[in-house]
Structure 1
Amino acid sequence: MSRPELRISSETFRANIEAVRARIEPSTLMLVLKDDAYGHGLRWAVETAVQTGIRWFGSYDIRSGLEVRRIAGRDARIFAWATSTDDEIDEALAHDIDLGVGTREYLSRVIARAAVLGAPARVHLKIDTGLHRNGVLPEEWPEALAEARAAERLGQLELVGVWSHIAEASDAEDDEAQTAFLDAVRIAGESGPAPALLHLTASAASWWRPELRGSVSRIGAFCYGIRSADGPELEGVRPVASLSALVEEIVDGAAVIAIGSFDGLPSTLSGMPVGTPGGTRTLAEIGQTTSVVEGWPGAQVGDEVMLFGPGESGEVSATTLAERIDSVGEEILTRLTPRVRRIVRE
């Protein structure tokens, strides 16, 4: 059986990055790389992004950040925001990785490890603006700042940034989050040198709410051409990846293709439209290792069926598929197993 292919366009990725940068200027783009660059491959994403001049990477965790450092070199700035072990903190400090810190406990551990190693930690302190996804509570913010400033005076820490996550549930809630964020920034500035790196927004809010952007915008999905679920299309941005599988046999006029739920294709996506040489057809059934597509005139073994992509063969995007099962486009991409061959095209 032939293997399905996830075809990845470097040209499209570069064009998306440029479109996003133009949209968010003068805010600086931090390219987010979580989940192996949303299933596209971390090494490819970093190498390609460096070619476009990207210097800020959001790795999520320190382990991924270390890999980014090996690929991108010493000039890149890397932000890892997952709360980590002491050993991971040591690695981050040794390899010049910025740390996102969202709890008093984690802040104390980062300072302690910096004191032991004699290497100051570059810290972005996170304020909880209402999402309750980690973050120092507003009532504890002055105490957290006092601890950070004390460590700063001892040469153990550099408070370089203030950041947060927002819910992106409604404009009103996001406005409230910005108010809380700006208040935290004000208090930070009163406690010492004002942090230069302020980042509140991820993909959707960075794109549509310019008034919420800080000096940095953390954007992942949109750079890969993955729009928000139930959101509009993005001007100048196209899907970077397309998924294809070959016809293995023709049975009663239907085409059996070489991809199934064992390859990471959710079985609940049966009934979705796919692209074929005969135009858009329905994916009628998703089995464990093969699937069945509604036939078309002249269908034959070896024909290519596009499961998702930019729409050039009648297929829809990964996000459009995800909306059918109340999910997001990145889930469709990150579920794909190693049996799906990754093919990079310039």
Structure 2
Amino acid sequence: MTRPELRIRTDRFVSNIHAVRDRIAPSELMVVLKDDAYGHGLDWAVEAARDAGVLWYGTYDVAGGVATRRVLGDDGRIFAWVTSTDAEIDEALARGIDLGVGSQEYLARIVARARERGATARIHLKIDTGLHRNGLLPEEWPQATDEVRRAEADGHVLLVGIWSHLAEASDPEDDEAQTAFLEAVRIVEASGATPEALHLTASAASWWRPELRGTVSRIGAFCYGIRSADGPDIPGVAPVAELVATVVGIEEDAAEISIGSFDGIPSTLVGAEVGTDAGTRALQSIRATTSLVAGWPGMRVGDPVWLFGAGEHGESSATTLAERIDTVGEEILTRLTPRVRRVIVD
């Protein structure tokens, strides 16, 4: 078979989860599963994380939460953070999925759907701490808190979390965001019980800035071994996936490999170093379904070439490739098309 393969290492994923949990303790790990688990496959990621003892799972939308619940069964907590339709709210209520709430309009719809269904919605209220990616403004927060407490008294909602997003643009800006977040927590605490899940940080801030962590830390990229663009390597964490293509032809002093732009490889990656059994070689051109790599002595049809991975054959990481074209490692993974076969390696 000549189709390219994304080889996914379960043992590395589990090892990364353990490294992250050790680093952030006593904060609880929420493994983020957005974009089909960063292109690795949601079902595989949920099964592996569940077997590693993970209790919290973060999905972008309710559909991802429903898929996660299908794998988890009745166990585990699932958090879906994007604003949803009424039909999706109903799905979340039926499947026991926590909802991230960043507007009073969305809060009102959740309360109405829960009242109509005779259910109790578990919600995480979001304060906008400066990123302006959804979230209640500080001036809206006291009124929203009052509305939540009234709905709690009526049995329609349960406030189980307070959360936000960090810009991670600079330490001073993140400090200001934490100040706004803690003020929002203080207001909620003054009105009743403190929610169990307080979560402000994602991968980078959770790892490098312990003072910003809450009771829960949402971590996606680092669990999959994807470091931040322009960021340092993460001790004890390794890339979970490696992208491998096969030599399908020899053209003078170059090897033609079975991957191209139709597979999701950006044409702007020409010049990047890839790995071979003979060491690193330059990626010379990217065509529709094949590419050319600088040749090596004794190269043959059927030889493997590593586009990215853990560096065991001289290849770059996905993030190192991404930095060449001013993007992030997640994009290199998530843009791969279904023609790239996903192969799970235990």
**TM-score bin, normalised by smaller chain:** over 0.9
* SS class of match (1:63): helix
CA distance in 2: counterparts of 1:194 and 1:314, whole angstroms: 50
- 1:182 aligns to what? 182
Task: Tell whether 2:233 aligns with 1:233.
Answer: yes
Deviation at 1:49, TM superposition (A): 0.5
Which contiguous aligned blocks of 4+ residues in structure 1 show a shift greater than 6 angstroms? none
How does the TM-score come out when normalised to structure 2? 0.99
Distance 1:22 1:76 in 2: 20
Question: For 1:156-235, what aligned pairs fall within 5 Å after superposition?
Answer: 156-235=156-235
For 1:18 and 1:227, how far apart are their aligned partners in 2? 16
SS in 1 for 2:174: helix
List gaps (5 residues or longer) in structure 1. Answer: none
SS at match of 2:99: strand
Query: 1:264-343 residue pairs with structure 2 within 5 A?
Result: 264-343=264-343
Return the offset for 1:2. Answer: 1.2
Q: Provide the C-alpha distance between the structure 1 equivalents of 2:188 and 2:222, rounded to a whole number of angstroms.
A: 31
Q: Helix, strand or coil for the counterpart of 2:249?
A: strand
Q: For residues 113 and 188 of structure 2, what CA distance do their matches in structure 1 show?
A: 23
**Shift of the alpha carbon at 1:55?**
1.0
Measured in 2, the distance between the counterparts of 1:290 and 1:87 equals 43
SS of 1:53's equivalent in the other structure is: coil
Q: Which amino acid in the other structure matches residue 202 of structure 2?
A: A
Give the letter aligned to residue 128 of structure 1.
D
Deviations 1:309-340 (A, max 9, x none): 00001101000000000000000000000000
TM-score (norm 1): 0.99
Cα drift, residue 268 of structure 1: 0.5
Q: Percent identity?
A: 69
CA–CA separation in structure 2 for the residues paired with 1:196 and 1:340:
41
1:144 is matched with 144
Q: Say what the alpha-carbon RMSD is for the aligned residues.
A: 0.6
1:65 maps to which residue?
Answer: 65
In structure 2, distance between residues paired with 1:277 and 1:220 = 31
Offset at 1:196? 1.8
Deviations 1:261-303 (A, max 9, x none): 0000000000000001211000010011110000001111111
Q: Which residue of the partner structure matches residue 34 of structure 1?
A: 34
C-alpha separation in 2, matches of 1:87 and 1:302: 50
Structure 1 counterpart of 2:333, which letter?
L
Cα distance in 2 for partners of 1:112, 1:229 equals 42
Structure 2 spans left out of the alignment, 5+ residues: none
Alpha-carbon distance in 1 for matches of 2:77, 2:60: 13
Equivalenced residue count is 346
